[in-house]
Chain A
Amino acid sequence: MTAEPKVAKSPAMIEARGVEKWYPNGFHALRGVDLTVQRGEVVVIMGPSGSGKSTFIRTFNALEDFQKGSITVDGIALNDDLRQIDAIRREVGMVFQQFNLFPHLSVLDNLTLAPVLVRKRSKGDVLNQAMALLERVGIAEQAHKFPGQLSGGQQQRVAIARSLCMEPRILLFDEPTSSLDPEMVREVLEVMQGLAADGMTMVVVTHEVGFARQVADRVVLMADGQVVEEAMPEQFFDHPQHERSRQFLSQIL
């Protein structure tokens, strides 16, 4: 990884340049990926299974490392400096396919844990904000339950609220609705749509075409560790330029 000087706020929220990653077993998962995400933009990443979508967005908050290229998040270069990584993780929220709520903590404690520990905010202060966030995602009445007592859709909304409670500047979503029953997909997508409308910068890996069409500013298609096509949603879904994109769309539409 090239040591990049820490630059003052660049206009882009995320700048990935020529990112290459090999897994320890030698698998070349990312083969020179470029992506720029502007402030307030919603970018949807699509692509066949195994194309490296998860690997790519997980490099943004250093859950995966990479060997070549550079990534800058909100002006902070991602390198091996642990303090930089912590600084970036504070600003980047992530929502997982499996929710990953902390099952031994109540919903409210799931939300307040990180702000109190990491941002050193007072518990009372965070509690108010957490209740407001639960209100916003429509589950304030479940605040004192435990994750295991909630439905999948409710759990994913708690997970979104938990990320928001850290007041991140970017939210990453890795297939947030893929493990939900169909009737719960909508409630989660509505929350995400609301966030986009409020100007949150979001990178979303999803196969929800309706969401991509309505909410995304750009759609990116990845295949075999590379970006194949990058376009506005209407352009991408109605007039895909590349053979690989047409092939992929014919499978999911």
Chain B
Amino acid sequence: MPRVVRSSLRKELFANPIDGLVSVLLISGVGAAGYGLIHWALTQAQWVVIQANSTLFAVGRYPIEQQWRLWLLVALVAAATGLSWGALRGLPQRDRPITAVWPRNDRIAAIVLVALCGWAPAALGLAWPIQARWWALTALLLVLRWLAGRYASRLRKVATLGLPLLWPLLYLVGMVLIGGGLGLVTVGANEWGGLLLTLIEASFAILLSAPLGVVLALGRRSSLPLLRWGSIAYIEFIRGAPLITLLFLGQNILGFLLPGGLAPDRIWRAAWILTFFSAAYLAEAVRAGLAAVPRGQLEAARSLGLNLPQALSRVVLPQALRIALPATVGQFISLLQDTTLLSLIGLLDLLGTARSVMANPLYLGKSAEVYLTLAVLFWCCCAALGLGSRALERRLNPPTLGP
């Protein structure tokens, strides 16, 4: 161990006897738990429950002969991820200058990705051609990441305008690929399941609740009484009710409220409820952001002749949303986790699928393996969201005077 590391470790962990004692206890506790977990995972756990059902966990009962559409979609998402990642790298990071195409954190992320795609498909016992597909997808992502990072500084304008458009567009394309239409065979929503359904529900709610939340936040601060009280009533009602009751309500009430054919399918009902739920919380995050923008900003914009929509969209909201970004992403992360409640209303999302698998007598007593897998999957999705948002945040902060 290099001396610097050793001395800083010493300062952080063993500065005085009490610190030292706490450190020893913590380290041995964490160590024992970690050892136990790894020991169990490697020797006692029977992962065949995951191996045998990996397709079910991934996409539910999506028809096999149509699954090429999902592969295509994953490829598109991998490409878009690579592009966005690289382009984000090229944006001026305002607290430190751009150094290399592959800074340290990115190298680590790339290595983790490669290791994951080498290990996970093999561990799941996937057939060779399928394993090769995952390698190709990872390669696609990394190559585009490299290309975009290399030319990002030249394509900055395209990146800042294109990226916010790319993802919603990809979402529309993705929905066509998943659901069919435009010449593709229809695959009904009741055939979606597993991680696929979880991600569809979460991304639908994220994409739609963001604008809705901004509108509600503006409404809450509006000087028009009707708009203001309407927004307040909505936000407070939603925030006062547990999501699960809203989900049950939605399943029952939407059917009554809307005439026969108009009532959306159960899956879309749930997606809309998630959207409405998340929008109320987002509105509060955005409201905090709006409150943090000094009054003088709006006054300066108005005194320059900007009308209210211009002043809001060009001056106030860019600042407010930047401030609200961490809380917003936090809300998205909990939204992703809240999708597990869908299993309670009988949808076969990731958790619902898992429960149906565990109900199979063949896999009796294998719930620890299943739950651990779910936890890791969710953790990966949430970590990706969190990392992306922190990278974005650092690039959006305007530079200030100082070191």
- Knowing A103-B319, A104-B319, A148-B400, say if A118 contacts B299 (CB, 8 Å): no
Closest Cβ of chain A to B157, distance in Å, is 13
**Inter-subunit contact A113/B314 (CB<8 Å):** yes
**Inter-subunit contact B399/A148 (CB<8 Å):** yes
Interchain CA distance A98-B300 in the complex, whole Å: 10
CB of B239 within 8 A of chain A? no
Interchain CA distance A133-B343 in the complex, whole Å: 63
CB of A42 within 8 A of chain B? no
- Knowing A104-B319, A150-B401, say if A117 contacts B300 (CB, 8 Å): no
**Inter-subunit contact B294/A98 (CB<8 Å):** yes
**Inter-subunit contact A63/B299 (CB<8 Å):** yes
**Inter-subunit contact A100/B299 (CB<8 Å):** yes
Nearest residue (CB) in A for B319 is A104
Closest Cβ of chain A to B73, distance in Å, is 35
Residue of A86, A114, A159 most packed against chain B (CB within 10 A):
A114
Please provide the chain A residues from 76 to 110 with a CB less than 8 Å away from any CB of chain B in the complex. 86, 89-90, 92-94, 96, 98, 100-104
Contact indicator per residue, chain A 40-52, by CB within 8 Å of chain B (1) or not (0):
0000000000000
Interchain CA distance A102-B322 in the complex, whole Å: 14
Interchain CA distance A104-B317 in the complex, whole Å: 11
**Inter-subunit contact A93/B314 (CB<8 Å):** no
Q: Chain B residues with Cβ under 8 A from A147's Cβ?
A: 398
Nearest residue (CB) in B for A117 is B310
- Knowing A148-B401, A149-B400, say if A100 contacts B300 (CB, 8 Å): yes
Interchain CA distance A150-B318 in the complex, whole Å: 21
Count B-side interface residues using an 8 Å CB cutoff: 23
Closest Cβ of chain A to B142, distance in Å, is 32
- Knowing A96-B299, A104-B319, say if A114 contacts B399 (CB, 8 Å): no
Interchain CA distance A36-B304 in the complex, whole Å: 23
Q: Chain A residues with Cβ under 8 A from B318's Cβ?
A: 104
Interchain CA distance A203-B200 in the complex, whole Å: 59
CB of A207 within 8 A of chain B? no
Contact indicator per residue, chain A 123-163, by CB within 8 Å of chain B (1) or not (0):
00000000000000000000001111111000000010011
- Knowing A102-B297, A104-B322, say if A113 contacts B398 (CB, 8 Å): no
Interchain CA distance A162-B296 in the complex, whole Å: 15
**Inter-subunit contact B302/A146 (CB<8 Å):** no
**Inter-subunit contact B306/A118 (CB<8 Å):** yes
**Inter-subunit contact A146/B398 (CB<8 Å):** yes
Interchain CA distance A138-B299 in the complex, whole Å: 26
Interchain CA distance A114-B294 in the complex, whole Å: 19
Interchain CA distance A11-B398 in the complex, whole Å: 45
Contact indicator per residue, chain B 281-307, by CB within 8 Å of chain A (1) or not (0):
000000000000010110111111111
Interchain CA distance A147-B94 in the complex, whole Å: 13
**How many residue pairs, one in A and one in B, have C-beta atoms under 8 Å apart?**
74
**Inter-subunit contact A118/B302 (CB<8 Å):** no
Q: Chain A residues with Cβ under 8 A from B302's Cβ?
A: 63, 89
**Inter-subunit contact A149/B314 (CB<8 Å):** no
Residue of B300, B304, B315 most packed against chain A (CB within 10 A):
B304
Size class of the contact patch on chain A: 20 to 34
Closest Cβ of chain A to B128, distance in Å, is 51
Interchain CA distance A151-B400 in the complex, whole Å: 10
Residue in A89, A103, A145, A150 whose beta carbon sits within 8 Å of that of B304 in the complex: A89
Closest Cβ of chain B to A244, distance in Å, is 30
Q: Chain A residues with Cβ under 8 A from B310's Cβ?
A: 117-118
Q: Chain B residues with Cβ under 8 A from A119's Cβ?
A: 305
Q: Chain A residues with Cβ under 8 A from B396's Cβ?
A: 104
Interchain CA distance A100-B398 in the complex, whole Å: 15
**Inter-subunit contact A98/B296 (CB<8 Å):** yes
- Knowing A118-B305, A118-B306, say if A146 contacts B300 (CB, 8 Å): no
Interchain CA distance A123-B296 in the complex, whole Å: 25
**Inter-subunit contact A61/B314 (CB<8 Å):** no
Q: Chain B residues with Cβ under 8 A from A149's Cβ?
A: 399-401
Interchain CA distance A93-B305 in the complex, whole Å: 9
**Inter-subunit contact A114/B306 (CB<8 Å):** yes
**Inter-subunit contact B304/A118 (CB<8 Å):** yes
**Inter-subunit contact A100/B401 (CB<8 Å):** no
**Inter-subunit contact B303/A61 (CB<8 Å):** yes
Q: Chain A residues with Cβ under 8 A from B319's Cβ?
A: 102-104
**Inter-subunit contact A100/B400 (CB<8 Å):** no
Please provide the chain B residues from 98 to 112 with a CB less than 8 Å away from any CB of chain A in the complex. none
CB of A166 within 8 A of chain B? yes
Interchain CA distance A166-B303 in the complex, whole Å: 10
Nearest residue (CB) in B for A98 is B296
Closest Cβ of chain B to A106, distance in Å, is 9
Interchain CA distance A207-B129 in the complex, whole Å: 80
Residue of A102, A119, A151 most packed against chain B (CB within 10 A):
A102
Q: Can you list 28 pairs linking A and B with CB atoms under 8 Å apart?
A: A86-B307, A92-B303, A96-B296, A96-B300, A98-B296, A100-B296, A100-B297, A100-B299, A102-B297, A102-B300, A104-B396, A104-B398, A113-B304, A113-B314, A113-B315, A114-B306, A117-B306, A117-B310, A118-B305, A118-B310, A119-B305, A146-B398, A146-B399, A146-B400, A149-B399, A149-B401, A159-B300, A166-B304
- The 9 lowest CB-CB distance pairs between A and B, nearest first, are A148-B400, A100-B300, A114-B304, A100-B296, A118-B305, A94-B303, A90-B305, A89-B305, A146-B398
With A63-B303, A100-B300 given, name 12 new contacts (CB 8 A).
A86-B305, A90-B305, A94-B303, A96-B299, A100-B297, A100-B299, A104-B318, A113-B315, A114-B306, A146-B399, A150-B401, A162-B304
